[in-house]
Amino acid sequence: MRLRNITLPMIAVAAAIFSGPVWAEGDAAKGERIFKKCKACHNLDKNKHKVGPSLVGLIGRTAGTGKDAKSKLYRYSRAMKKAGGDGIVWTPENLDKFLIKPKKFIPKTKMTFPGLKKPVDRADVIAYLRSQVN
């Protein structure tokens, strides 16, 4: 009886440790559906800015930087430019942290989105962003 009480928690801890980062397991198809929340402000189809910057080529990009979109560079907030200057690069790990609560990860960012609370939703969106090679 005592063995059962110890074994189940140990299995849960081991699964959490050895399963790897949550973003590594995302589903791009589900992420595409979740990304619809982002489309009001961001574009992934073309290098064209909306209220927020184009996310074309986001993975691996330094925060607060991007390509010109139709000869017009998006005006990033000072906070986002500073984050880039401080070495923040949009890796899957950093995107996961940012998408939890953007204003907590980069205080004073212009992004008003409250975040994605569910780890699986963040993992799916990140998988979708990774699948978009433009």
User: H helices of the chain, where?
Assistant: 2-18, 28-34, 78-85, 92-100, 102-105, 119-131
| Token pair of 53 as six digits | 């910057």
How far, CA to CA in Å, does 12 sit from each of 16, 17, 25, 52? Answer: 6, 9, 17, 40
Domains and CATH numbers, the chain: 2-131 (1.10.760.10)
Work out the number of other CB atoms within 10 angstroms of the CB of residue 34: 19
Say what percent of the chain tops pLDDT 90.
59
pTM value? 0.77
Question: What mean pLDDT is predicted for residues 46-50?
Answer: 80
User: What is the per-residue pLDDT for 43?
Assistant: 87
Residue type at position 7: T
User: What is the per-residue pLDDT for 68?
Assistant: 60
How far, CA to CA in Å, does 44 sit from each of 20, 35, 88, 94, 129? Answer: 27, 10, 21, 19, 8
pLDDT tens across 88-112, in order? Answer: 999 999 999 999 999 999 999 999 9
Which residues is 92 bridged to in the sheet? none
Out of 3-17, 96-110, 118-132, pick the least confident: 3-17
pLDDT tens across 54-79, in order? Answer: 898 899 999 998 876 554 678 899 99
Average pLDDT, the chain: 82
